Amino acid sequence: MPKYILKRAIMSLITAFLVATMTFFVMNMVPGGPFLAEKAVTPQAQAAMEAKYGLDKPLIKQYTTYMTGLLHGDFGLSIKKRGRTVAQIIAVKFPVSARIGGMALVLAVLTGVPLGAVAAFNRGKFLDNLIIVLSTAGIAIPSFLSSTLLVYVFTTKLHLLPSLGLKDARSYVMPVIALALYPSFYMARLMRSSMLDVMGQDYMRTARAKGVTTFKSIFKHALRNAILPVITYLGPLLASLMTGSFIVEKIFNIPGLGSEFVSCITSRDYPMIMGTTIFLAVFVIVMNLFVDIAYAFVDPRIKLK
């Protein structure tokens, strides 16, 4: 196991390096620059600013400078948010997104997995059809619509929940639900099909022949076998939920990493783009490693080599 993790760590570093390199050059190929939107900038002022951030140097030089900084853990300065480093911004924004994303993940798993299991065990019956219809709708409805609907019902009509910001516990409810909706229903579908597959297996018949109750045969014998596809999905899901959703953060006015990521791209805040992309990539890589390790714990047949 430690050897496996070391191997994966080295591969992850290579991946992160490639991501950084590609992002750097693709980013610079996109037309525009960080100072174009600013009004009435004199050529001298622009040249001075470009010089300050090193944008006047040849691209290769910029690249080597950035990568050297990165190796020393320096993500550079944000161009748009004067005086703050990229690392500082991420350190402030990420926990906000991670908290909401983490809660959404827990909610999604706790609803999606049982829903799928219950649907499978009631195959063809009313409950199954209901869950299929609900989950199809849940997957099809985009998050800006579900968020708006939530705000309409809970804030405008019922006056139960605040629609903006993160002041108290109540303000977490709607963003968490909005974020959890899609993954929850997606997992329900995954779980249902994999559960149906497992239910046809011989060992489920053995369980039945032993006199095991339906409840126990679902939760002991079927679930652990059926949950592997869900765990696979969990890795990328965890990364995407915890790094924030642009739409949900915009609608509920949450100062998270998701909205930061999109706005830094539109404003060509080069160091921010690099920083957030690399952060995201590393996060995805680490989550996938966790998933692979989790595999070995769930299914004893999987050996990590």
Judged by the rule CB under 8 A, the positions of this chain that interact with another protein are 201-203, 205-213, 220-221, 224-225, 298-301
Residue 233: count other Cβ atoms within 10 Å of its Cβ.
Answer: 17
What tokens were used for 218? 């679902």
Q: Which is closer to another protein, CB of 166 or CB of 296?
A: 296
Q: Which residues contact 223 (CB under 8 A, 6 or more apart)?
A: 113, 117, 195
Q: Which is closer to another protein, CB of 199 or CB of 248?
A: 199
Closest contact distance (angstroms) between CB of 111 and another protein is: 23
Distance CA 128, CA 119 (A): 4
Distance CA 25, CA 23 (A): 6
Is residue 105 within 8 Å of 291, Cβ to Cβ? no
What tokens were used for 255? 């100062």
Closest contact distance (angstroms) between CB of 72 and another protein is: 46
Distance CA 28, CA 112 (A): 41
Q: Which is closer to another protein, CB of 159 or CB of 297?
A: 297
Closest contact distance (angstroms) between CB of 211 and another protein is: 4
Closest contact distance (angstroms) between CB of 189 and another protein is: 22
Q: Which is closer to another protein, CB of 39 or CB of 126?
A: 126
Closest contact distance (angstroms) between CB of 218 and another protein is: 13
- Containing 21, the helix (H) or strand (E) segment is helix 2-29
Q: Which is closer to another protein, CB of 207 or CB of 251?
A: 207
